[in-house]
Each structure stands twice: as C-alpha cells, then as structure tokens.
Amino acid sequence: MRSSNRASLERATLLDVLCSARICHVGVVVAGLPRVVPTVFGVDPNGPDSEGTLYLHGSVASRSMSDAPEQDICVTTTVVDGLVLARSAFHHSMNYRSAVVVGRPRRVEDADERIRALDAIVDQVVPGRSAHLRSHTRKELAATAILALPMYEASVKSRAGGPADDDHDIRQSDVWAGVVPVWEAIGDAEPAENLAEEIPVPDHVDALGRNAFRR
C-alpha cells in the first residue's frame, strides 16, 4: 500500500474510533503525578490544527486542567466491542478500538471557533443536536474555557476476532471459547420532569436508538 493511502486509511480509522466514543479519558500530570479524568469531547476533522482538532472543556480536571496549555496532555478513547473468552486464563482478552491523541493544547480564544467547538462537543453526544439549540449567551461563553488539541500526533490500536488459544488447549480442552459481543444500548428517551407535554421527542434523539443496535 502506498504510504499516502495508508495515511488516509489510518486517519479514517482514527475518526471512526473517535466518533464511536461517548467520552474520553484525559491524562494530565499534576505535581509530577498522573491524573486521569473522564470527560466529553468534540471533534472537528477540518479544524484549524494540523490533521484536525479535538476539543475539550477546559474545566475538565478543574484546577489541574487550567495549567494544561502549558503542558502536554493525553486523550484516550476506548470502545469495547467484545469479551474474548479463551480456554486458558492467559489468553483472555477484549476486542476493542482505542484512539490516543497527545500534544500540547491551546486555549481557544476566537469567538467563532469557540462556538464551533461547543457545537462539536454537543454533536459528539447527540449527532445533529446543536442545530436545534438556541445560540450560546455571552455569559455562557465567558464561563467556558475550551482547549483545542491538534489531531496530528495520534494513534489507533484495536483487537478483533476470536481467542488465540495454544494448540494443546484447542485439542484437549472441553472449555467453551469464543467471543461475547458488547455494544452500547440506547434506551427510550425520558423527558425532563419540567418538559411541556406538547414537545415530542425529535428525530435527532430518536435516531440515537435507531443507529445504536448495529449488530
């Protein structure tokens, strides 16, 4: 495969893994110690950074993250696809797809980019939802620090397929072996207690359930 083909394939895989994940785990170093915090995120493949931009709320790890523009961070997203049950404990595993993006985030100051970033974060949770929401208020924008991470330094790891048992176990074992598929189930939307009764569940929310059971 030519390297340009491989690069675009890897980029497509990276975007696919990022888009499959609901949350990411952000790693920062605080006083020399690692801290890993779960948070929502957004992706703009055509963002202003090299190879696209990953957006985070700057408040994510509260004080530790407010130092982040001056330090590298690591953003990892992992989707579990299956439990791999082998004949031996040794070969038990997971089928999964995981993306890692590392780098030094910049604080997003540009007003238009801040709005696009917040929309990307909402649309990562519910694709298409941002278009249905009112504009951000000045107060809301002022209260939200946003960090942008270039998607340039990124990698994807994955495992798929059945267990990799040793030959003698395959021949001799009477233990069941195989894969138990795992995915994200989406339940019926539960309206907020204070929602006016005449407001129906919109299509972009219904679509979450329609698109969930892909197996």
Query: Least distance in Å: CB of 11 to its own copies?
Result: 21
Query: Least distance in Å: CB of 1 to its own copies?
Result: 26
Query: Least distance in Å: CB of 12 to its own copies?
Result: 21
- Rounded to whole angstroms, how far apart are CA atoms 40 and 108? 16
| Cβ closest to its own copies, residue 8 vs residue 172 | 172
Query: Least distance in Å: CB of 53 to its own copies?
Result: 18
Question: Tokens 């941002």 appear where?
Answer: 130
| Cβ closest to its own copies, residue 3 vs residue 62 | 62
Q: Which of 111, 101, 171, 118 is nearest to 138 (CA)?
A: 111
Put the strands of the sheet holding 41-44 in their side by side order.
41-44, 53-57, 146-150, 106-107
Angle at alpha carbon of residue 93, lines to 92 and 99, rounded to 5°: 170
| Cβ closest to its own copies, residue 7 vs residue 30 | 30
Pairing of strands 73-85, 24-30: antiparallel
| Cβ closest to its own copies, residue 1 vs residue 192 | 192
